[in-house]
A = this chain, B = another copy of it.
Amino acid sequence: MAERLSADARKQALGGIPGWAEVQDGKGIGKTFVFKDFNEAFGFMTRAALVAEKMDHHPEWRNVYKTVEVILSTHDAGGVTKLDIELATAMNAIAKLTQG
């Protein structure tokens, strides 16, 4: 099982994934993605969903038209693990491609 990152390791990892910040007292990381329209927003979600399913690690997310708010946390580990950092990294890459 993935182990919870220390506060220092978490902060260092966040430095490599622009736009992500600690939420829920450091138990998770969050980012709000804003796209051009619903087509782009849901396109992003669909690609991210495939990655999440393959990792067997899933986001908590909320979509309103062109906006997608994401929170990542590893509940079994009680906080943020490398799985969250990996999924956040993938989401940043997908968003970048989606936004062109």
B58 touches A60 (CB 8 A): no
| CB-based contact A53/B39 at 8 Å | yes
Contact A58 B38 (CB under 8 A): yes
CB-CB nearest in chain B for A42:
B49
Chain B residues whose C-beta falls within 8 Å of the C-beta of A46 in the assembled complex: 42, 46
Find out whether the CB atom of A63 lies under 8 angstroms from the CB atom of B64.
no
Check if B52 sits within 8 Å of A38, measured CB to CB.
Answer: yes
> With the chains together, A64 CA to B42 CA distance in Å?
16
Contact present for A61 and B58 (CB under 8 Å): no
Chain B residues lying within 8 Å of A49, measured Cβ to Cβ, are 38, 42
A30 CA to B63 CA in the complex, in Å?
A: 15
Fill in one digit per residue for A45-71: 1 if any B CB lies within 8 Å of its CB, else 0: 110010011000011111111000000
Query: In the complex, are the beta carbons of A63 and B60 less than 8 A apart?
Result: yes
Residue of B nearest to A56 (CB): B38
A-B pairs with the 3 shortest C-beta distances?
A62-B62, A60-B64, A42-B49
